[in-house]
Amino acid sequence: MLRFLTAGESHGKALLAILEGMPAGLKVEAGQINQELKRRQAGFGRGRRMQIEKDEAQILSGLRKGITLGSPIAFLIENKDFSIEKLLKVTCPRPGHADLAGLLKYGFTDVRNVLERASARETASRVGIGAICKIFLKEFNIRIISKVLSIGGEFTSEAMKNKILEAKDNKDTVGGIFEVVAKGLPCGLGSYVQPDRRLDARLAENIMSIPGIKAIEIGLGLGYAVSFGSEVHDVIYYNKNKRLLAGRQGYFRKTNNAGGIEGGISNGEDIIIRACMKPISTLLKPLDSVNIATLKPTKAVVERSDTCVLEAAGVIAESGVALVLADAFLEKFGADNLLDIKKAYQDYQKRIK
Ligand SMILES: Cc1cc2nc3c(=O)[nH]c(=O)nc-3n(C[C@H](O)[C@H](O)[C@H](O)COP(=O)(O)O)c2cc1C
């Protein structure tokens, strides 16, 4: 239902995005998009580039008087650091980045031709797209939040902060784990009828596409591997009374190890996703590499870089989750017009009550 494309190099003139499939009749303000872009730029451990940039979306199409037309929504985010033509050639690829594999794949002799697009600067476009999807989902009281759970094996906020400072002092970088939770979802998004319609698979694909993400789990995730079925499956209850029981009417669960998805379908509980981000690959104390011009041992290039971006990664993942859920929602309740979708949603809720 929803399709998108992004374009733009890290130090190019601008980043671009086109989102197609948003229904007509949704009120969208650039300020709402900018708020999310600002969240992506923040977080303890970010480098100097984020002090230079001030990401703001200029909406180019898809709206009239602030309301969506059902046509593709295009927007642009200008790069303040527009310097791509002046930047020097890079010949020392960084271990852990796209540099060497991209260079060999595309036949370049300058690593910069790879890193300009492989850079996670691209994710600003995705966050803008996700912001529009969040605005749509909010019409149905669906909210998506994220938080950092651990950094470098530390769990308290003070210890996490210290770990980032330690990495910074050592000219090193550090990774961690964040969690994304989607609340207020109906049962019935996604399907088991084809592999590519499974909601868990679609969420995993989107989150794994964020640069630096190396693992994801839904609900209990890896914890299932060390449990008996009797201990972990979320037992089903039904509350016949109109009065709320355990916060619920109708069917309900007391646990949510499934992370809100069973059989590739949302089951009405919160969707809970955790993902692991590896340490940033650009180190100020660079790792060993090979000069691609001389084939002699060298140190990897040092680019201006972040130390730790777990908070930002969580915001980017929220955007991905918003896109996937909005897509599945439109599939289930129709597209084209917001009022039609609301009507279909209400009818469905009445049926499954
Ligand atoms: C928000 C964000 C910011 C990032 N900043 C940097 C950075 O400053 N330097 C760097 O080397 N990698 C950075 N990365 C990670 C690289 O983009 C990523 O490791 C690289 O594209 C290779 O992809 P892979 O790690 O998925 O293999 C960042 C990732 C995210 C999500």
Kind plus residue range of the DSSP H or E element containing 76: strand 73-78
Start-to-end CA span in the chain (Å)? 27
Q: Is 351 exposed, middle or buried (0-12, 13-18, 19+ CB in 10 A)?
A: exposed
What's the pTM? 0.96
For residue 109, give the nearest of 303, 295, 298 by alpha carbon.
Answer: 295
Cα(180)–Cα(345) distance, integer angstroms:
24
| Ligand 1 mean position, distance from CA 16 (Å) | 19
Could you tell me the two tokens for 351? 């049926």
Binding pocket residue ranges, ligand 1, CB within 6 Å: 47, 97-98, 118-120, 123, 210-212, 278, 280-282, 305-306, 309, 312-313, 316
Written as tens digits, the pLDDT of the chain (353 aa) is 999 999 999 999 999 999 999 999 999 999 999 999 999 999 888 887 777 878 999 999 999 999 999 999 999 999 999 999 999 999 999 999 999 999 999 999 999 999 999 999 999 999 999 999 999 999 999 999 999 999 999 999 999 999 999 999 999 999 999 999 999 999 999 999 999 999 999 999 999 999 999 999 999 999 999 999 999 999 999 888 766 655 567 888 999 999 999 999 999 999 999 999 999 999 999 999 999 999 999 999 998 889 999 999 999 999 999 999 999 999 999 989 999 999 999 999 999 87
Three-state SS at 156: coil
**Which amino acid type is present at position 219?**
G
Cα(27)–Cα(6) distance, integer angstroms:
22
Atom from ligand 1 closest to the CA of residue 213: 26
| Ligand 1 mean position, distance from CA 306 (Å) | 9
**Do 113 and 10 meet the contact criterion of CB atoms below 8 Å apart?**
no
**Do 102 and 9 meet the contact criterion of CB atoms below 8 Å apart?**
no
| Ligand 1 mean position, distance from CA 128 (Å) | 18
Reported in sequence order, the residue ranges of 171-293 that DSSP labels E, i.e. its strands, are 176-183, 213-218, 236-239, 250-253, 261-262, 265-266, 271-277, 288-290
**Residue whose CB lies within 8 A of the most ligand 1 atoms, among 105, 117, 281, for a mutation test:** 281
Cα(156)–Cα(120) distance, integer angstroms:
27
Give, using CA atoms, the residue closest to atom 5 of ligand 1: 306
**Do 123 and 4 meet the contact criterion of CB atoms below 8 Å apart?**
no
* Chain centre to alpha carbon of residue 339: 28
